[in-house]
Amino acid sequence: MSDFAIETKKLRIYYGENEIIKGIDLKVPKNVVFALMGPSGCGKSTLLRAFNRLLELNKEARVEGEVLILGKNVYGNGVNPIDVRKQVGMVFQYPNPFPHLSIYDNVAIGLKLNHLVKSKEELDERVKWALEKAFLWDEVKGRLDDYPASLSGGQKQRLVIARALALKPKILLMDEPTANVDPIGTRKIEELLFELKREYTIVLVTHEPMQAARVSDYVGFLYLGKLVEVGLTREIFEKPKHELTEKYVTGVLV
């Protein structure tokens, strides 16, 4: 078993002939919040989608190099992308609960589709567990049959997090999960990250340096498809080694 949750080797990603990620070698330790930060359009979300093979949903995308999840190359021969996505959950920028399913069924759907529970009692327990993990149970336990339209933006995003957690992944990818959430919801999600990293590795994409400083243990700074600098969050913010990194964390480069 690898010492790292995620490791990339000479990773290059293309959309058609356009090279988006340019030969990245990256190691993400286990049970940390690892922030990928950088200006818009630098390749953060593309890199994130390479970790669980979501890029394959785009016919223009092409991946070269290796992505190791817990020591296994997920682009190796015979690897089923569905199995990869069970291990590596994903939360997107826009809260996207299924509008025509109840709060309960939003959490339960992945468990049902993948036949991961054997009884209604076990399903109930897993749904409650996931909602508790997402700090949402106390707010929704009396209205599990309601549709998600009744929830705030922050609650919807925590519902999506609960949906991902219900599958019990090893790694959770979050693509700017607070970008469309109010300040109160943002604070709750950030508090949630500190709790979740006890059991999960979290990779967080953010375009806000201060969010990376608040919530992450490690930071990788991307610029124009290249990994400029990576290291402990405190060191990156207090003593950046690269001029571009210093300009970004001080707000000169946006």
Task: Give residue 253's pLDDT band: very low, low, confident or very high (50, 70, 90).
Answer: confident
pLDDT tens per residue across span 98-123: 999 999 999 999 999 888 889 999 99
Please check the confidence at residue 64 and state whether its pLDDT lies above 90: yes
pTM: predicted TM-score of the whole model, two decimal places: 0.93
Q: Average pLDDT in the 68-83 region?
A: 92
Domains and CATH numbers, the chain: 4-249 (3.40.50.300)
CB 227 within 8 A of CB 26: yes
Task: Give residue 3's pLDDT band: very low, low, confident or very high (50, 70, 90).
Answer: confident
Task: Give residue 180's pLDDT band: very low, low, confident or very high (50, 70, 90).
Answer: confident
What pLDDT does 161 receive?
A: 95
Burial of 98 (0-12, 13-18, 19+ CB in 10 A): middle
pLDDT tens per residue across span 12-54: 999 999 999 999 999 999 999 999 999 988 999 999 999 999 9
Joined together, the tokens standing for residue 1 give 């078993």
Please check the confidence at residue 94 and state whether its pLDDT lies above 90: no
pLDDT tens per residue across span 138-158: 999 999 999 999 999 999 999
- Rounded-to-integer distance, Cα 244 and Cα 226, Å: 12
CB 95 within 8 A of CB 153: yes
Q: Average pLDDT in the 74-84 region?
A: 91
Amino acid found at 152: S
Residue 122: DSSP 8-state: H
H or E element at residue 119: none
What pLDDT does 1 receive?
A: 62
Please check the confidence at residue 252 and state whether its pLDDT lies above 90: no
Q: In degrees to the nearest 10, what's the CA dihedral of 159, 49, 53, 6? A: -90
